[in-house]
Amino acid sequence: MTAPLRVAITGAAGQIGYSLLFRVASGEMLGPDQPVILQLLELPVALDALKGVAMEVTDCGFPLVRDIICTDDQATAFKDADIVLCVGSKPRGPGQLRSDLIKANGPIFTGQGQAIDANASADCKVLVVGNPCNTNCLIAMSQAKRIPKENWHAMTRLDQNRAVGQLSNAAGVSAGDVKNVFVWGNHSPTMVPDITHGTIGGEAIADVVDGGWLADSFDQTVRTRGKAIIAARGKSSAASAANAAIDHVHDWFLGTGHNDYVSMAVCSDGSYGVPEGLIFSFPCKITGRGTYEIVQGIEVSGEVRERMQKTIDELVSEREAVADLL
């Protein structure tokens, strides 16, 4: 029998956590034959609610769930974890600037980075979902002495999936027919969705989808989708964010099933002129179970290059804002 993997989830009783846990438990993230032990972390104030959520997981009778641990102690949550999903973060308050949000989250992620590095499996894979996810991930990674830099990712898969959703609707095809669309940079409005190498049913996207819509609407829709969801639902994206986390980890461990790229915000090695060490969304190929490489040799248009510089500049300034934590 396959040994269980320990999956730690922070902020597990929150909205995204509630959409995430049950799909991890059912096998959607790691496949139908991979048992899991859920190690759930919450703030003390949310521990009762978390226990209620864990009761509901038990009430599903999922064959893959071997154990559920509910705790407000980081060392317990991260103990021997094979995968950590950092979902919890301080949300942005009314009128709060992004720079203030970054500083408010900094200490959370230094603490979590240290606790993960001290307690998790030596090859633990970490996905930071809680925003601002790129810089939160940078902060956590900076605390690691033991866990390799390649193992610290932030999530831009939601942005990629939003782009795919828009393109498949525009073309009137299944989302599964849209390939190799990805996002450069920061999970923020400076992100750069890149469709220049993407295909729909094997054809170049610009040959299939209306050029006017692509120019006027597509990019803006993807970059501001989070706000549009809040306006419609009255709540921020939860199930779609959870789904993107599942997609990210699924592909990281099990591959994409095609010769495709996926967007992963990973530690820059200097590819495409992105400063080394930034957590930056690149097109990535999965090379094995839990390993990836940044796709090389992609031609970057002048316009994309210009916009990439803006998202690089933003990430550099975010890094400067938290320099004392790194």
Q: Which residues bind a copy of itself (CB under 8 A)?
A: 18-19, 21-23, 26, 28, 35, 48-49, 51-53, 55-66, 158, 160-162, 164-166, 168-169, 174-176, 178, 225, 228-229, 231-235, 237-240, 242-244
- Beta-carbon contacts of 116 under 8 Å, excluding residues fewer than 6 positions away, are 78, 81, 84, 124, 126, 140, 144, 147
3-state class of 163 per DSSP?
helix
- Min dist CB 35 to a copy of itself, Å, is 8
Nearer to a copy of itself, 67 or 123 (CB): 67
Cα Rg of the chain, angstroms: 19
**Do the beta carbons of residue 304 and residue 273 sit within 8 Å?**
no
- The answer to whether the CB of 40 falls within 8 A of the CB of 88 is no
Whose Cβ is closer to a copy of itself: residue 97's or residue 175's?
A: 175
What would the two tokens of residue 8 be? 């730690």
Residue 227 vs 305, nearer CB to a copy of itself = 227
Q: How far is the CB of 53 from a copy of itself (least distance, A)?
A: 7
Is residue 248 annotated as part of the catalytic site, yes or no? no
Extended beta strands in 129-239, E state: 152-154, 178-179, 182-184, 192-194, 199-200, 203-204
Torsion angles phi and psi, residue 277, rounded to 5: 95, -15
> Least distance (Å) from a copy of itself to the CB of residue 67?
10
Can you tell me which residue has the tokens 């999970």?
Answer: 187
CB of 154 to a copy of itself, least distance (A): 18
Tell which residue, 21, 62, 17, has the closest CA to residue 38: 21
| 3-class secondary-structure state, position 251 | helix
Which lies closer to a copy of itself via its Cβ, residue 15 or residue 309?
15
CB of 254 to a copy of itself, least distance (A): 13
Rounded to whole angstroms, what are the CA distances from 137 to 21, 93, 95, 231, 257? 21, 21, 24, 28, 27
CB 13, min distance to a copy of itself, A:
8
By C-beta, is 174 or 301 nearer to a copy of itself? 174
Q: Which is nearer to a copy of itself, 20 or 147 (CB)?
A: 20
CA pair distance 150, 153, nearest whole angstrom: 8
The residues annotated as belonging to the active site are 187
